[in-house]
Structure 1
Amino acid sequence: MKMNSLDFDAQALREKILDLAMRGKLVPQDPNDEPASVLLEKDNLKNSDEKPHDIPASWKWIILGSGVNFYNGRAYKKNELLNDDKFTPVLRVGNLFTNSSWYYSDLKLDPNKYIDNGDLIYAWSASFGPKIWNGGRVIFHYHIWKLKYDNTAIDKNFLYYFLLDKRNVVGETDLHGSTMKHITKTNMEHLPFPLPPLSEQSRIAAKIAQLFALLRKVETSTQQYAKLQTLLKSKVLDLAMCGKLVKQDPNDEPASVLLEKIKAEKQELIKEKKIKKTKPLPPITDDEKPFAIPDSWEWVRLGDIAQVGDIDHKMPKQTQDGIYPYISPKDFTKNGIDYQNSKKISKEDFIKLSKKFLPQKGDLIFPRYGTIGKIREVNVDLPLLVSYSCCLVRSSKLIDNSFVKSELDSQITKEEIKRYINKSTQPNIGLKSIQRFLFPLPPLEEQKKIAKRISEVNKIIDG
C-alpha cells in the first residue's frame, strides 16, 4: 500500500487502538482467566452505576477511586525552591512536557510526597496525562498526582493506557473542540473504569505497547518521507528559478520586452488613479545577483512586477453578526485557507479597513510575522480582508501568477527573508523589504511552461 503523510494519521490510530482496548476488542478473552467479579470481592472494589459502553461478560465496571488512590504533591513556596542540585529534585508539570530546567529542595517530606522509578503519575493542570516515571527519586508539585493501586487487581500498564486516552478522563476533550483547564481529584475518583481479568489486562497492555511501537516506526518513516518530499520540491524550484527545468525557446519574447510592457501597464494604472505612484526601487547591482540566469531572462525586484500592500494596522472586532472573513496565518491549512472558520468582522470595519488594499482572487498572502513567507493564494471571489500581520502580493496581469507564487516559495525568497528580516522580540519583515526582493524573470511563455512543469513534478512527488 502506498502511504504518504496525507494518508497516515498516527494519533487517530492510537486513539482507535485505545478505544478498542477498553471495549475488550483488542485481544481475545480467555475463558480460563479468573473473572473480574472475583477481583471485586477480594479487593473491595465498588461497582460503577455508570457504564459508558458495552464490555465483555468477564469484565466489570468499577469506580476508579475504589481501586486507585490519588496522592497530591505539594505547593512549594519560592524560598523552598533551590538551584542547588545536591538536594532532591522537584518535579513540576513543565518538566514532564516542555521545561528542562529544574528546582531542588532540602525538605524532608511524608513518603507519599516522593516519586520513585516505576511509579505511575498523572499531571492534572495546564498539560494533562499519565506517565510511568523513570527519572530517579523526586518530590513533586501539587499539580501532579501519584497513583497507588492494588496490583493484585489492577495492572499498572493497563491503568496507564486507560488514563492516556483523555476521552476516558473528561469525555469531550481539547482534541474535540473544548478546552481543558484542570481535572478535579473528585472527578477522577468517580470515573467509571472497565476492569478486565488481571491476566487480560496484562495482555491488553502488551498488545497496545506492541502496536504503538509499530506506529512509531511507521510514523518515523512517514515523517522522513514527508521531509524527502519537501526537499525534492525545493530542488525542483531551485532548478526552475535557475532556468534549468524547461528548455529556453529562442522564439519567446525576452523578459526585457516584458518588463517594458509592465512599466507601461503600471503608468496607465497610476494615470487612472487605480494605484499610487511609488518611489523607484534601487537598481540591482551585479554583486546582488546570486547566480547566472539565461540570456532571455532579467533580474527584477518584486515591486517591479507586482503590487505589495497591506490594510490599516488596526485590529477589527469579531462580532456575532460579522459576515466578512478576516484571514490570518492561523487560518492557513496544509494546502489552502479555511475561510469558513476564520474570524468574521462587521460591514463597518470591512469598509473602514478595505480602503487601502482590498484583496482580490489570485492575490498572494505573505505573512510578515511568525511563519514569515508561508504563502497562500486567495482562491475565492469573496469580499474579505487579510490581517495586517501579512501583506498582499498582486502580480502584474502580464505575469504568470503561478510562477510568481513558485518564486515566493523558492530558496531565493528564503534567502531574501534572511537578508531583510528584523530580528526584534518578534521577528518581522517590512513592506519595503519585500518590494526589494530579487526575482529572476523569464519570458512569459517560459513562465507558463515552468509553472506547468512544477505542478506536474509535484504531483509525481506527492504520489
Structure 2
Amino acid sequence: MIGLSDVDLPAGWARARLGDLGKYTNGRGFRKSEWSDTGRPIIRIQNLTGSAASFNYYAGNLEERHTVRAGDLLVSWAATLGAYLWRGPEAALNQHIFKVEPFIDRDFLRYLIDYKIQEILAAAHGSGMVHITRSRFDELPAAIPPLAEQHRIVEALEHHLSRLEAAMRAAAGAKRRLKPFSASVLDRTVLGTFTISAASSPSDASHHLLDGFASKRFDYAALPSLPVGWFWRRSSDVCEFICSGSTPAAHLMHPGNGDVPFLKVYNITQDGRVDFTNKPTYIDRETHEHPLKRSRVRPGDVLTNIVGPPLGKTAVVPDLHPEWNMNQAIVAFRAGPDVHPEWLALALRSPFILGMLQKTAKATAGQFNIALSTCRELPLPVPPMNEQLDLVARSAELLEVTRRSASQLALISLRSRHLRQAILRQAFAGKLVPQNPSDEPASVLLDQISARDGKTKRSTRHPRKTAAVRAASPPPSMPSIPAPTNAVQQELPL
C-alpha cells in the first residue's frame, strides 16, 4: 500500500497495480438515434448511483464485451466514481463505465476499488466533478493478500459494513421524516390548530377584514376559517412597509469587511436564521445611505427571498449590527403593531402560506421570481398578540428539537462515512482478520495472473500490451477460487 515498504506488508501479501487485478472493458457510446423503447436497458452512471431510475433502451445487436449480466462488477470512472455490482436484467453498458472481469476475489476487488476511489476523492479536496484517466486508474498501487485471506476479509467486511449500512439507512429515514414534521408544526401553528380557541368551531368571521379587497393572485374567499378571534389580513395592512432590495455595482461590494453588512440569499438558512458567516459581504456607508437607501433594513425586519429556487427562505434580521442592507432577490417585511416579527416569520415559513406565494411565481430560464406587489397582497393569519407570543414560544421548542435532530443525524452520517473508510483501511492493511501461515502467498496468485496475461514476472514491469494486441489475445481465465472458510473476525465498535 502507499507509504508502506515491502517489509511492512503482512505475511503472505504482495504488491500489485489495480490494472493488473482484472480485465477492464469500457462501455459503448450510444447515440440518441439508437435509443429505443424496447430492448436492453442502457446502464448509465446515474442508474448506478441512484440519481435516476429511468433507462434508455437499445434494441440492436450488442457485442458480448458491452453486455452486462446480474453479478457483474461495474466501475464508474467519470463524474461520479464508484464500484457497483449489477443486480438488474441483462443490459447494455454505456461509456465511462468499466465492466470488470476480476482475476482475484470479485468482492474483494470491489471493496478495494471503492477504497481506492475514496482515497482519490479525498485527495481532490472537494473540487467537484472528478475524472480519473485509465492510465492513472491502472497504476493505483495495492497490497494483495492470499486468496484464502481475501475470502476471510470479504466475510468480515460484509459483517461489519452490513451493520453500518443498516444504521445509515435508519438515520436517513429519520432525516426524511424531519422535514414533514417541521412542515406540520409550522402549518398547525400558523393556521391555529395548536391554540386553545381552536377547540371551538372555526369562525367564518375570520375573513371579514378582507371584505372589499380583490386580488388577481389570491382567492381570499377560499381561505380556510381560523379560530375565534383570529383574522385573515393582507400583509400590506399589518406591515409598516414591504420592500425589495437592490444590488450595487460589483466594485461597491467588499468581501470580508466594511461599514454595513450586505445580505444575499445564501445568508438566509433553510431553518429560519441569518448566517452572516457564510461569505460575508459589506458595502460602504455612502452606498448604504444613498444609492441603496430604499433597501436598508434593521433588526427585527423579516426577510424572505423572492428569487429561486429554492423560494421562501425566511429569517428575522438579528441585532448583530444596527443596520443592514440586502440584494434584489430579497424582500423585507417590517411588522406593524398588530403582528410580532417572529409570528410574521413563522407565517412566511408555513408551507400553506409559502405555497400560495409559490403558485404566483413566474419562471424564466430555470429561475423563479415572485413579484413585490404579490408580497403586498399576500393574506396572513393574525391571532391576538398574546396568542402570537405563546405560539411562537411553543413552536420554537418543537422546531429546535428538529434542528438538533438534523444536526445529530448529519454528524452520524459523517461519522458513518469515516468509520466505513476506517474499516476498509483496516482490511487493506491486513488488520481486519488474522493471517494464516498455510495460505498460499499472494505472489503465487499474481504470478499466475501475469503468466496468463502473457507477461513475464511482475517485477520486470514491461509495458502493457497495446489494445490491438490485447484484442487479439483470448481473455485470461479466472483462477480457481475455493469456497470461503470460517473466518475469524476482529470485532469493531459500531
Q: Give me the TM-score of the superposition, normalised by structure 2.
A: 0.64
* Structure 2 contact 270–314 (Cα < 8 Å) conserved: no
Q: Does the aligned pair in 2 maintain the 1:123–1:145 contact within 8 Å?
A: yes
Could you tell me how far 1:162 is from its partner in structure 2? Answer: 2.7
Q: Equivalent of 1:190, from 139, 142, 167?
A: 139
**Mapped partners of 1:349, 1:70: distance in 2:** 64
Separation in 1 of the partners of 2:181 and 2:37?
Answer: 49
In 1, Cα distance between equivalents of 2:214 and 2:62: 70
In the TM superposition, residue 173 of structure 1 has moved relative to its aligned partner by 5.4
- 1:287 paired with 2:225, answer no
Task: Output aligned runs, 1:214-229, within 5 Å.
Answer: 214-226=163-175, 228-229=177-178
Q: Which residue of 2 aligns with 1:96?
A: 48
2:127 paired with 1:178: yes
CA contact (8 A) 2:9 2:143 kept: yes
Amino acid at match of 2:232: W
Q: CA deviation at 1:182?
A: 0.9
Q: Which AA in structure 2 matches 1:431?
A: L
Distance (Å, rounded) in 2 between the aligned partners of 1:411 and 1:328 = 19
By relative contact order (CA 8 Å, sep 6+), the higher-ranking structure is: 2
Q: C-alpha offsets along residues 311-344 of structure 1, whole Å, 9 cap, x if unaligned?
A: 2367847988664555224863656344333264
Q: Distance in 1 between matches of 2:390 and 2:401?
A: 17
Paired AA for residue 241 in structure 1: V
What pairs with 1:41-80 in structure 2 (closer than 5 Å)? 50-51=3-4, 56-57=10-11, 59-77=13-31
Q: Secondary structure at the match of 1:392?
A: strand
Equivalent position of 2:292 in the other structure: 354
Quick check: 1:309–1:391 contact (8 Å CA) kept in 2?
Answer: yes
Which residue identity does 1:142 align to in structure 2?
Answer: Q
SS in structure 2 at match of 1:356: helix
- 1:299 and 2:232 equivalent? yes
Match of 1:430 among 371, 392, 403: 371
Matched, 1:161 2:111: yes
| Alpha-carbon distance between aligned partners in 2 of 1:190 and 1:359, rounded to the nearest angstrom | 58
Q: 1:414 is aligned with what amino acid?
A: L
CA distance in 2, matches of 1:142, 1:188: 16
Deviation at 1:183, TM superposition (A): 0.5
Q: CA deviation at 1:184?
A: 0.6
Which of 116, 120, 125 is the matching residue for 2:73? 120
The question of 1:332 aligning with 2:269 is answered yes
Give the distance between the partners of 2:152 and 2:126, measured in 1 at CA: 33
**Structure 2 CA distance, aligned partners of 1:443 and 1:228?**
32
Consecutive unaligned residues in structure 2, runs of 5 or more: 198-208, 406-494
1:157-189 deviation digits (Å, cap 9, x = unpaired): 222223334654515356x42223311111111
How far off its partner does 1:372 sit? 1.9
CA spacing shift, 1:197–1:123, aligned 2, 3 Å: same
Q: Structure 1 unaligned runs (5+)?
A: 1-47, 249-259, 261-279
Mapped contact 1:326–1:342 kept (Cα < 8 A)? no
Contact persistence 2:14–2:144 (CA under 8 A): yes
Which amino acid is 2:225 matched to?
F
Residue 356 of structure 2 corresponds to residue 403 of structure 1: no
| More off after superposition, 406-415 vs 350-359 | 350-359
Cα deviations by residue, 1:410-445 (Å, 9 ceiling, x for unpaired): 244134235534466544422222222222222323
Quick one: percent identity of the two aligned structures?
22
| 1:241 alignment partner in structure 2 | 190
CA spacing shift, 1:193–1:358, aligned 2, 3 Å: farther
Q: Any conservation in 2 of the 1:125–1:181 contact (CA below 8 Å)? A: yes
Q: What's the Cα RMSD here?
A: 4.0
